[in-house]
Structure 1
């Protein structure tokens, strides 16, 4: 896995959200910091804990002028079900062909229960208002993810 380099412009992307609307990196440039977090699959236990933590901390992210975007290889329809089931209050993006995950270096060989397969390695990227990558969190704890990211944002990016 090779992540984009900190300090460089973040790789651009345009993906559909849960409502089928296009969301692009350029939509936020000059306006908001972005937490772009990649997760393996909607409605799985770890992904649900991580998403619900972000939901509960949304007002803190807003105070820090930051938008959170979750990215998975799920379809927009599956993302809608995930959002509805857990009353999530932020956008989830569908990367069905995993092209954005590949660009960010998070599509990799994984092992689970003795099987090998390609999938998303849970990773978060913090992108500043200028569109530059300021932090990569590659050791994500789903239970503390929201607080870990908020601590970085509070210390200034």
Structure 2
């Protein structure tokens, strides 16, 4: 996904409801993460939740997307007191549209998985900034700074 691209015409599941991603409005932060309740993903979701009020004050929505089920998201949200919306992309349509379903390797084993990535769309719905292969520490703060600069 290149700068200037628009929010893909895909539908995700939020709170057990099918929601077109573009209907969430803009500006919008869409972050992809591999799996609910794993160390890095929990830290990232908590960081975005901590800054949720600051994103809202800047008029920017935030949604996290993984291939986990709505039930998994509900459990993850309740366990960690998350305040950001989490969307399910069980069939991988959003992952494919954003190009984050990639070959990964761990301990010499190759497999397909979600690349941790974040996309910031401006008020006109076009991609303003993308972060690929995200490192969690300080990431939510960097995204907030970029969102405020829109």
Q: TM-score range by the shorter chain?
A: over 0.9
Corresponding residue of 2:10 = 13
1:63 is the counterpart of 2:64: no
Provide the aligned C-alpha RMSD in A: 1.2
Q: Secondary structure at the match of 1:41?
A: coil
Post-superposition CA distance 1:55-113 (Å, at most 9, x none): 11111101110111000010111111100100111211111111210111100100012
User: What is the CA-CA distance between 1:25 and the residue it aligns to?
Assistant: 2.6
Distance 2:110 2:134 in 1: 21
User: What is the CA-CA distance between 1:120 and the residue it aligns to?
Assistant: 0.3
Q: Check whether the contact 1:28–1:129 (CA below 8 A) recurs between aligned residues.
A: no
Q: How does 1:2-151 map to 2 (within 5 A)?
A: 4-17=1-14, 19-29=15-25, 32-151=26-145
Give the aligned length. Answer: 150
Q: Check whether the contact 2:103–2:112 (CA below 8 A) recurs between aligned residues.
A: yes
Post-superposition CA distance 1:29-73 (Å, at most 9, x none): 4xx311000000000000000000011111110111011100001
Distance 1:130 1:15 in 2: 21
Q: Check whether the contact 2:10–2:93 (CA below 8 A) recurs between aligned residues.
A: no
Structure 2, unaligned runs of 5 or more: none
Distance 2:116 2:72 in 1: 19
Structure 1, unaligned runs of 5 or more: none
Q: How high is the TM-score relative to the length of structure 1?
A: 0.90
Q: How high is the TM-score relative to the length of structure 2?
A: 0.94
